[in-house]
Amino acid sequence: MHSLKEVKNLVSDTLGLGERGATLTADSPLLGAIPELDSMAVINLITALEEQYGFSIADDEISAEVFETLGSLAAFVDRKLA
């Protein structure tokens, strides 16, 4: 997952996690575990991913599994970039 560090930074910046963002690992749970990651923040994060990586995310690609952990989100980005 070459995107893990970039996705970690993007998640931390988009959600305004500050120092807490530095503690995120591939196994860190996202949905339900980070209070800042509400439904509006998911939309903001999707927009940030699209802008950062230059791809589009279709509605049917968005699922709880994608946002389950930082690693699953980074894996999604890697698949989109492949």
Question: What SS3 string covers the chain?
Answer: CCCHHHHHHHHHHHHCCHHHHHHCCCCCECCCCCCCCCHHHHHHHHHHHHHHHCCCCCHHHCCCCCCCEHHHHHHHHHHHHC
Quote the percentage of the chain above a pLDDT of 70.
Answer: 98
Burial class for 5, CB neighbours closer than 10 Å (0-12, 13-18, 19+): exposed
pLDDT interval class at 45 (50, 70, 90) = very high
The pLDDT of residue 3 is above 90: no
Quote the percentage of the chain above a pLDDT of 90.
Answer: 94
